[in-house]
């Protein structure tokens, strides 16, 4: 499945540890916001005005207690989906 085909409510996983690049004021810069493999849900999908062909996803990832965290802006390369084998 292509990440770009995903929509609101779809489940995704962090492809790598996602850290604060300074854009999350309630977190320290370089703080880990989502560990690699963390499960999340897409809550908004948009694009960068300067590059409309590039999607940005707002994802709420679960913490260790399975609580959803604050929305985090992610590029498609930050996310992965698990393919179901039937």
Q: What is the CATH number of the domain that holds 22?
A: 2.30.30
If one counts the domains in the chain, the total is 1
Confidence (pTM): 0.86
In a domain? residue 85: no
In a domain? residue 61: yes
Q: Which domain holds residue 38?
A: 3-80
In a domain? residue 86: no
In a domain? residue 18: yes
In a domain? residue 45: yes
Written as tens digits, the pLDDT of the chain (86 aa) is 788 888 999 999 999 999 988 787 888 888 899 999 999 999 999 998 898 888 999 999 999 899 999 999 999 999 999 876 66
pLDDT at 9: 95
| The pair of three-digit structure tokens given for residue 4, joined into one six-digit string | 């770009």
List, in sequence order, every residue forming a beta bridge with 47; answer none if it has no partner: 55
pLDDT at 38: 96
């Amino acid at each position: 499945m292509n990440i770009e085909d995903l929509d609101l409510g779809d489940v995704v996983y962090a492809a790598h540890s996602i850290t604060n690049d300074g854009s999350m004021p309630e977190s320290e810069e370089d703080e880990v916001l989502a560990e690699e493999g963390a499960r999340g849900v897409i809550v908004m999908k948009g694009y960068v005005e300067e590059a409309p062909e590039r999607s940005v996803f707002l994802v709420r990832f679960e913490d260790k207690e399975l609580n959803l965290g604050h929305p985090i802006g992610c590029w498609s390369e930050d996310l992965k989906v698990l393919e179901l084998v039937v």
